[in-house]
Amino acid sequence: MTKTDWQNFFQTKARKCKVLVIGDIMMDRYYYGDVRKFASDAPVPVAKIIKRKASLGAAANIANNLARLGCKTSIAGFVGDDHNFEILSDQLYESGIDQDGLIATEWPTTTKIRIMSGHVQMFRMDFEDLAPRSDEQFDALKEFVEQRLNDSLDAIVLADYEKGVCTEQFCGSVIRAAHNHGVPVIVMPYGQRWIKYAQADYITPNVAKINKILLSPIQTDDDDAAERAGRYIMRKFKIKNVLATRSSSGITLVTEDNAFHLPTRMQEVFDSAGAADTVAAVFAMALAGGLKPVDGAYIANVAAGIVLRKSGTYAITRADVLNELAG
């Protein structure tokens, strides 16, 4: 595709895409400060906070990427009734993301608080509760998914961060429901139990995640190993296609008949936070807009290169991608 083709795609088809992101929702909160001394009452460093930032994380970050790219985006998952949810809800509203699929629970909204000194993370605090959610809460989630499918969707992203949403039963029900409506499912995986994603159309792991399910780890710069790993994943877990992100080595798309290795144009990895989220979002947008999978992999690779140069969680925009293509 030419630069003009991409401009036309973002101006027309991307704006009409309807994508639902289902999965584990988080808030990422950053406190930036100077660490220049130790406390007088304990041998611990003291950070004088000079700046704060709150960002949508995990499934919410994927949804934010999609919305900033111009897609009509909905999100579904579990949240708490707390201050962190208020921040999250405000940010979803500002991005124009439909949040009717957020199911309130008695547990806290999953939140990660990071203390930063410059670009170095000094400490992290996690607020979460991984107790199993009730059948009633999952039923409410399934009802919302079916409602959005009946209203028409172009793609679904299942975003798993092992925080309670993506159980084997729930993933199976979403994949079956989506396929009954002819809607592709893109999975952002986690952990090692990938059989719960069986029959998904695409899975988007990075090499670190792939190595957790392999007996012999692969290197990010080995094209042949990336293809073999992709075919192993397809065969073992009954997943149709694999889009493997390989950091500074780019992306590999493995399909039934082909493998495409797309090198990145970026020279240095500054921060990998959120890059995998961006790949899942941009690839879902591409499929939702009717692009060929290899074109989707290409534009996802371009977007990932942009995010790898950013600090912290960053949601990509249409302008970011088009400027990168122009450059």
Catalytic residue among 160, 277, 295, 320: 277
**DSSP SS3 for 190:** coil
State the CB neighbour count (10 A cutoff) for residue 66.
Answer: 33
* Terminal-residue alpha carbon distance, the chain: 15
φ/ψ (deg, to 5) at 177: -65, -40
Candidates 274, 253, 271; CA nearest to 262 is: 253
List, in order, residues 6 or more apart from 275 with CB less than 8 Å away.
206, 245, 247, 304, 307, 308
Burial of 248 (0-12, 13-18, 19+ CB in 10 A): middle
Q: Is 24 a catalytic residue?
A: no
Question: Please, what is the angle between helix 3-11 and helix 318-326, to 10°?
Answer: 170
| Catalytic machinery residues | 277
